[in-house]
Amino acid sequence: MRRIPGLLAIAVLAAIPLLPVPPFWITLINNIGLASLVAIGLVLLTGVGGLTSFGQAAFCGFGAYTTAVLTTAYGFSPWATLPFSLLVGAAAALPLGLITVRLSGHYLPLGTIAWGIALYYLFGQIEMLGRFDGISGIPPIELAGHRFISGQSIFYLIWAFVIATALGARNLLDSRVGRGIRALRGGRRAAEAFGVDIVRAKLTVFIFAAVVAALSGWLYAHMQRTVNPTPFGLNMGIEYLLMAVIGGAGHVWGAVFGAAIVLILKEILQRILPGLLGATGNFEMILFGMLLVAMLQFAREGLWPLLLRLAPTRSRVQVAASQGALPGRRDAVPAQGPLIRVEKVRKAFGGLVAVNDLSFDVKAGEIVGLIGPNGAGKSTTFDLITGMLALTGGRVAFGGRKEGRRSPGAIARLGVARTFQHAKILPDMTVLENVALGANLRGSAGVVRSLLRLDRKEETLLLAEAERQLERVGLAEHRNRPAGDLALGQIRILEIARALALDPTVLLLDEPAAGLRHGEKQALSALLSRLRSEGMAVLLVEHDMSFVMGLVNRVVVMDFGTLIAEGTPAEVRRHPAVIAAYLGGVA
Ligand code: ADP
Ligand code: MG
C-alpha cells in the first residue's frame, strides 16, 4: 500500500516525455533532476548531519570537468569517465572535508563559502580547463547504440540516477552507519559513548554529498555538451542549499521537491522581475537569499514535512524474529580483579578541582553507589571513566589492564556503557532506533553495505537486540514512537536500555531514578539487582537515598571532588564526615 504514491509518481514522470509537452518543460525537469542529486546529498549533509555547505556546486564542477577533459582531450567514452568523475569528487572532498568538518559553529559554513569561491576561480584560471570559456565539444552519453542527445532521451537517464540515489540515501540513513550520521545533529556525545566515530561519520556524509554532486556534474556535462565555471560557483551553491532546506531535514524525497520549487520559482522570477524592476540582472538571487534566511528562521524543518503530514502515516518497521546472534562484549574485559579501578583520578577546570585524586574500584557482581552533594564531582567522574573528558591526573584501569588515555569509543569497546544525568537521546529517532544505537559496536556494516541494503541480516539482529532490551526494561510498547515523545522517566529508562544494548560488563548510571515514580523505581531496583546477579558491575550515582541504600553493596561518598568516606551503606550512614557534609544537610 505504502508504495503506491511512489509508483504513481514514477509513472507520471515516465509519461511526461511521451506527451506533447514543450521541450522547454523537459529541459526544466531535467535540470530539476540534476539539482535533485546535489540536494539529496545536502539533505544528508546539512539536513541530517547539521553540516551546512554553501560550496556544493564546486563538487559538480569536479565531476563535470573530469569527464570534459577525459572525453575531449583523451578520447575516453562518457561511461568510462563516470568512475573517474565520482572518484575525483570524492578525492576533492576528502581533504576539504577533513578541514571543514573540524570547524564548528559558524566557521563551518564560512569555510564552505571560502572554498566554494576559491574553487570557482580555480576552474576559471586553469588553462587545461579552458579558463572562463570552459570546454566544449563534449560527446553525448551512449547506451546500446542510443545517443542521449535530446532532452527527452536523457530525461530517463537523469531520473534513473535520481531515483537510485534517493533510494541509496534512504538505505544509508536507515542503517547502523545512518544512526551515527543522524546523531551528528544534537546527539554526538551519546553516539560517541557507544563507539560512533564522529569525525568518520561527518566525513562519510561529506563524501557522499560530494560524490552525488559529482554525478550530477557528470550528467550535466554530457547533457549540456559544454562546461564553464559559472554553474559551479557560489550562486548555485546557495540555490542548492535552499533546495535542501525547503526539502527539510532528513527527508530524501524532499530534496526533489525542494529542487522543483526553487527551479520553477527561478524560471518565473527571471521572467517577471526584470520587467517589474525595469532592469536586467539575477534579481532572483536576492529573493533566494532572503528566502533561505526566512526558511532557516521560521521553517527549519522545511516544507516537505508539511506536505507529508497530509499523507496517511505509514506503518513503522516491524522487527522480524531474529535468527543468529550478535557478538557480545561480555568477554571484552578479563574477569580477574576489579572491572574498574579508579586511581588518584584528578580533573581540574581551570582553578576548580572538580575531582581531587579520587580512588575506588568496582568489581564484577557488585553495585557501588557514588553519592555526594550537587557539584561534588560525580558526573565529572563518569566523564573521566568513560573517556569523555581528559584526565588531569591519575588513571583508570579496566579489568586490570594498564593503559593510558582512550577514546570514549575504545572504552565502550571494553564493555563500558553509561547513561547521562542530562538525558542524551535523539528525539526524532524512534525509541527502538535510539536503543539500537547502543548496539552500534556489535555490528560492522559499513557505508557500501548500507547503501546497497546488504546489511539487512545484521540490521535485523541489531533491531531485535534493541527490542529485547526494551522488553527487559518495560518500554517495548513505545518502540515505534519518536523518543522525544516519552516522559522524562521513560527517557531515563530508555537510556538504560540503550546502555544494555552494548552488552556491557560495566554499567554507569547517572541519576537513573530522578523523575521516576515509585513503581518505576522499584522495577529499576529489581532490574539492577538482576544485572548484578548476572555478574555485571554497576556504578550508580543517585540522590534518592532509600533507593541507593537498599540496593548497593558499597557506597563511595564524595564532597568537593574528594572521597570522604567509603564502605557498606550501614558504615557510611554512621560516618561523621558524611553526616556533616551530606546527610547532615538533609537531616
Ligand atoms: P555532580 O555530578 O556531583 O553534581 P559535577 O561533576 O557535575 O558534579 O560537577 C563538579 C564541579 O565541576 C561543579 O562545580 C561544576 O560546576 C564543575 N564543572 C563540571 N563540568 C565543568 C566544565 N565542563 N567546566 C567547568 N566546570 C565544570
Ligand atoms: Mg551530576
Q: Which residues fall within 8 angstroms of residue 471, CB to CB, at 6 or more apart?
A: none
Query: In which band, very low, low, confident or very high, does the pLDDT at 384 lie, cut at 50, 70 and 90?
Result: very high
Lowest mean pLDDT among 90-99, 175-184, 244-253, 500-509: 244-253
- Is the shortest distance between the CB of 385 and ligand 1 below 6 Å? no
> Cell numbers at residue 479, please?
518502540
Q: Do 236 and 59 meet the contact criterion of CB atoms below 8 Å apart?
A: no
If you measure from the C-alpha of residue 582 to the centroid of ligand 2, how many angstroms do you get, rounded to a whole number? 15
If you measure from the C-alpha of residue 312 to the centroid of ligand 2, how many angstroms do you get, rounded to a whole number? 43
If you measure from the C-alpha of residue 354 to the centroid of ligand 1, how many angstroms do you get, rounded to a whole number? 6
Using CA atoms, how far residue 521 sits from 158, 476, 494, 517, in Å, is: 57, 18, 14, 6
Instruction: Tell me whether residue 377 is exposed, middle or buried, using C-beta atoms within 10 angstroms of its C-beta: 0 to 12, 13 to 18, 19 or more.
Output: buried
Work out the average pLDDT over 407-425: 93
H or E stretch covering 411: helix 408-413
Rounded-to-integer distance, Cα 507 and Cα 414, Å: 11
If you measure from the C-alpha of residue 541 to the centroid of ligand 1, how many angstroms do you get, rounded to a whole number? 14
Work out the average pLDDT over 202-217: 97
Work out the average pLDDT over 182-211: 94
What integer pLDDT is reported at residue 58 of this predicted model? 97
If you measure from the C-alpha of residue 408 to the centroid of ligand 2, how many angstroms do you get, rounded to a whole number? 18
If you measure from the C-alpha of residue 561 to the centroid of ligand 2, how many angstroms do you get, rounded to a whole number? 12
- Is the shortest distance between the CB of 354 and ligand 1 below 6 Å? yes
If you measure from the C-alpha of residue 377 to the centroid of ligand 1, how many angstroms do you get, rounded to a whole number? 6
Residue pLDDT, tens place only, 48-58: 998 999 999 99
Among the bound ligands, the one closest to the CA of 422: 2
What integer pLDDT is reported at residue 584 of this predicted model? 53
Which amino acid residue places its CA nearest to atom 25 of ligand 1?
Answer: 349
In the numeric block, the cell 535530446 is attached to 150
Q: Does 34 score more than 50 pLDDT?
A: yes
- Is the shortest distance between the CB of 70 and ligand 1 below 6 Å? no
**Nearest alpha-carbon partner for 359 in 390, 401, 394:** 394
Instruction: Tell me whether residue 328 is exposed, middle or buried, using C-beta atoms within 10 angstroms of its C-beta: 0 to 12, 13 to 18, 19 or more.
Output: middle
- Is the shortest distance between the CB of 376 and ligand 1 below 6 Å? yes
If you measure from the C-alpha of residue 493 to the centroid of ligand 1, how many angstroms do you get, rounded to a whole number? 24
Work out the average pLDDT over 148-170: 93
Read off the DSSP letter of residue 328: P
Which amino acid residue places its CA nearest to atom 27 of ligand 1?
Answer: 349
Work out the average pLDDT over 513-524: 91
Give the alpha-carbon dihedral of 102, 105, 110, 116, to 10 degrees: 50
Higher pLDDT, residue 318 or 487: 487
Read off the DSSP letter of residue 48: I
Q: Which residues fall within 8 angstroms of residue 263, CB to CB, at 6 or more apart?
A: 28, 31, 32, 35
Q: Does 429 score more than 50 pLDDT?
A: yes
Work out the average pLDDT over 210-221: 98
Rounded-to-integer distance, Cα 253 and Cα 39, Å: 10
H or E stretch covering 556: strand 554-559
Q: Which atom of ligand 1 is nearest to the CA of 378?
A: 3
Neighbours of 325 (CB within 10 A): 10
Work out the average pLDDT over 175-199: 94
Residue 200, phi then psi, degrees to nearest 5: -65, -40
Return the CA Rg of the chain: 28
- Is the shortest distance between the CB of 89 and ligand 1 below 6 Å? no
Rounded-to-integer distance, Cα 171 and Cα 178, Å: 8
Using CA atoms, how far residue 450 sits from 317, 443, 469, in Å, is: 16, 12, 24
Work out the average pLDDT over 80-86: 97
Which amino acid residue places its CA nearest to atom 18 of ligand 1?
Answer: 354
Which amino acid residue places its CA nearest to atom 19 of ligand 1?
Answer: 380
Q: Which residues fall within 8 angstroms of residue 158, CB to CB, at 6 or more apart?
A: 30, 33, 34, 219, 223
Among the bound ligands, the one closest to the CA of 512: 2
Q: Which atom of ligand 1 is nearest to the CA of 510?
A: 2
Q: Do 159 and 33 meet the contact criterion of CB atoms below 8 Å apart?
A: yes
Q: Does 25 score more than 60 pLDDT?
A: yes
Q: Which atom of ligand 1 is nearest to the CA of 374?
A: 4
The residues facing 398 across adjacent strands are: 340, 401
H helix intervals, 534-562? 545-549
- Is the shortest distance between the CB of 388 and ligand 1 below 6 Å? no
Across the chain, mean pLDDT equals: 90
Residue pLDDT, tens place only, 351-362: 999 999 999 999
If you measure from the C-alpha of residue 384 to the centroid of ligand 1, how many angstroms do you get, rounded to a whole number? 12
If you measure from the C-alpha of residue 523 to the centroid of ligand 2, how many angstroms do you get, rounded to a whole number? 23
- Is the shortest distance between the CB of 229 and ligand 1 below 6 Å? no
Which amino acid residue places its CA nearest to atom 5 of ligand 1?
Answer: 377
Which amino acid residue places its CA nearest to atom 10 of ligand 1?
Answer: 377
The percentage of residues in the chain with a pLDDT greater than 70, rounded to a whole number, is 94
What's the distance, CA 415 to chain centroid? 23
Angle at 303 between CA 242 and CA 206, to 5 degrees: 45
Query: In which band, very low, low, confident or very high, does the pLDDT at 481 lie, cut at 50, 70 and 90?
Result: very high
What integer pLDDT is reported at residue 332 of this predicted model? 53
Read off the DSSP letter of residue 331: G
- Is the shortest distance between the CB of 374 and ligand 1 below 6 Å? yes
Q: Does 113 score more than 60 pLDDT?
A: yes
Which amino acid residue places its CA nearest to atom 17 of ligand 1?
Answer: 354
| Count of residues in the chain | 587
Angle at 38 between CA 459 and CA 138, to 5 degrees: 125
What integer pLDDT is reported at residue 498 of this predicted model? 97
Work out the average pLDDT over 371-377: 93
Rounded-to-integer distance, Cα 445 and Cα 267, Å: 43
What integer pLDDT is reported at residue 315 of this predicted model? 47
> Cell numbers at residue 148, please?
542521449
Residue pLDDT, tens place only, 295-349: 878 877 788 877 777 766 554 555 555 556 777 655 555 556 788 999 999 999 9
> Cell numbers at residue 490, please?
521513560
Among the bound ligands, the one closest to the CA of 354: 1
What integer pLDDT is reported at residue 573 of this predicted model? 87
Q: Is 372 left (phi over 0), alpha (psi -120 to 50) or beta?
A: left
Q: Does 281 score more than 80 pLDDT?
A: no
The residues facing 507 across adjacent strands are: 417, 538
Three-state secondary structure call for residue 69 = helix
Three-state secondary structure call for residue 368 = strand
If you measure from the C-alpha of residue 380 to the centroid of ligand 2, how many angstroms do you get, rounded to a whole number? 7
> Cell numbers at residue 201, please?
561519520
- Is the shortest distance between the CB of 41 and ligand 1 below 6 Å? no
- pTM score, whole prediction: 0.91
What integer pLDDT is reported at residue 587 of this predicted model? 42
The percentage of residues in the chain with a pLDDT greater than 90, rounded to a whole number, is 72
Instruction: Tell me whether residue 384 is exposed, middle or buried, using C-beta atoms within 10 angstroms of its C-beta: 0 to 12, 13 to 18, 19 or more.
Output: buried
- Is the shortest distance between the CB of 379 and ligand 1 below 6 Å? yes
**Nearest alpha-carbon partner for 490 in 419, 540, 568, 545:** 419
Residue pLDDT, tens place only, 229-242: 999 999 999 999 99
- Is the shortest distance between the CB of 293 and ligand 1 below 6 Å? no
If you measure from the C-alpha of residue 506 to the centroid of ligand 1, how many angstroms do you get, rounded to a whole number? 23
Lowest mean pLDDT among 63-77, 396-410, 453-467: 396-410
What integer pLDDT is reported at residue 575 of this predicted model? 87
In the numeric block, the cell 548555485 is attached to 236
Which among 380, 422, 558 is the best mutation to test ligand 1's pocket, defined by most ligand atoms within 8 Å of the CB?
Answer: 380
- Is the shortest distance between the CB of 175 and ligand 1 below 6 Å? no
If you measure from the C-alpha of residue 52 to the centroid of ligand 2, how many angstroms do you get, rounded to a whole number? 33
What integer pLDDT is reported at residue 469 of this predicted model? 95
